[in-house]
Structure 1
């Protein structure tokens, strides 16, 4: 059996990381310290985790036979409707962790860097904790969304059930994950630093970008690189700004 901590090894090649310059590391640290950038990274992280949770098979066609989860032998059917059944997400913990790690890997292009592996390691570390962790948080939301379905929705058919469940999951997880990451900032900070180190000069604010181009590309030249400003910022800057 594959451990939760070992799941991320499927996505990250065992490659040596090239050393980063102090200048790039300093620029990344400055970027991460900006609340706007950190919030943007956290929002992408939350959206990615919601997408991963919603990708689990929850409402499926039902042929009349009892379904069981092979991992623990528990009945995986939470409730049945006409021609469909709602699966119990609590029997899909391993699939949930794998889905979250896979989607984070793709969303943030996580590679064989120290920063990338830290992200995946932290996700695995916080997946299951004595307090519950991310798996418990997500499965509780999904389970509640399913058992709280009104009879009228169940009677309306599979499409109505699936639409209702997915809508509740998106809304509740946005709130609950937002609070979780406000209290537990290790993963958002790791994601933000990973993103900042990809290309700090492309993620700076408008003023910082112009200053960066001046310093890094022009050195001590007297003439500004107008064409760079036009290409990179859609004519935001003109000579003399």
Structure 2
């Protein structure tokens, strides 16, 4: 069995990483506290996980040769059609878990930083849980989508089946993952903070940082720094400082 530690051995945090300044850390926290920024990153996260789910092999050609069931006892084929078969996604749980980690890593450009390690660790932690986790949520949606295929779609052929299943996956997962991440915010928050920490690197000094974020978040508006950033109200920047 591959341990989580072994899985992330090639993403070891850089021990020589330069400590982040208080201004950069504060700016990142304040940016994450903005609903529009958090929502934007959550939408990217959901789209990434849908892409990982749609990369699984579901509808494949079949010419009638015997297909052997896997060792876990579940039949690898869920249903048959003329010239194709629909695979049981429940036999691909391990592949899905790795795809979620891989695609999140690539989408958000996660490297050897402490924030990046937290993101990957949380995705691995929530992929499979006693309650089911992300893998169970996703495979249930795909499995039910396949079972609910009408006979007319099955009779139309492989392309029709694949198109119908992929459309249902995208629609249902967008809704189900949206609800999941509304109830379980660890991954969205960690992804948002990882992204927020990239912004302070583009500017130098507190005044430049204030100007940069004001322009990006409140275009064509007066300086509203104290209104924009309320994450830490005890040390909020004030207009005129």
TM-score tier by shorter-chain length is 0.7 to 0.9
* Aligned residue in 1 for 2:195: 195
Query: Is 1:77–1:85's contact at 8 Å kept on the other side of the alignment?
Result: yes
- Aligned counterparts of 1:18 and 1:70: Cα–Cα separation in 2: 48
Instruction: Provide the rounded CA distance (Å) in 2 between the counterparts of 1:152 and 1:113.
Output: 51
Q: From the superposition, tell whether residues 197 and 78 of structure 1 become closer, same or farther in structure 2 (CA, over 3 Å).
A: same
Shift of 1:67: 3.0
Q: Does 1:137 align with 2:137?
A: yes
Shift of 1:75: 1.6
Work out whether residues 141 and 173 of structure 2, in 8 Å CA contact, stay in contact via their aligned partners in 1.
yes
Preserved contact between residue 52 and residue 100 of structure 2 (Cα < 8 Å):
yes
Per-residue deviation at 1:63?
A: 2.9
Relative distance call for 1:2 and 1:214 in structure 2 (3 A) is closer
The residue number in structure 1 matching 2:78 is: 78
Equivalent of 1:216, from 208, 226, 230? 208
List alignment gaps of at least 5 residues for structure 1: 203-208
Match status 1:105 vs 2:128: no
Counterpart contact for 1:11–1:105, Cα < 8 Å: no
Q: Which residue of 2 aligns with 1:91?
A: 91
CA RMSD of aligned residues (A): 2.7
Instruction: Indicate the SS of the match to 1:92.
Output: helix
**Correspondences of 1:116-131 after superposition (within 5 Å):** 116-131=116-131
Instruction: Answer yes or no: is the 8 Å Cα contact 1:14–1:112 preserved in 2.
Output: yes
Q: Provide, for residues 21-45 of structure 1, a one-character-per-residue CA deviation record: whole Å limited to 9, x for no partner.
A: 1110000000000000000010000
Q: Distance in 2 between matches of 1:198 and 1:69?
A: 47
Distance 1:201 1:15, change over 3 A: closer
What secondary structure does 1:56 align onto? coil
Q: TM-score, length-normalised on structure 1? A: 0.81
Match of 2:169 in 1: 169
> What residue in structure 1 maps to residue 14 of structure 2?
15
CA distance in 2, matches of 1:187, 1:157: 39
Shift of 1:20: 0.9
| Residue 69 of structure 2 is aligned to residue 62 of structure 1 | no
Per-residue deviation, 1:135: 0.7
CA offset at residue 8 of structure 1? 4.6
C-alpha spacing 1:214/1:2, structure 2 compared with 1 (3 Å): closer
Q: Deviations over 1:89-144 (max 9, x none)?
A: 00000000111111100000011111101011111111111211111100000000
The 1:148–1:158 alpha-carbon spacing in structure 2 relative to 1, beyond 3 Å, is: same
Aligned residue pairs total: 215
Q: CA deviation at 1:11?
A: 5.6
The residue that corresponds to 2:30 in the other structure is: 30
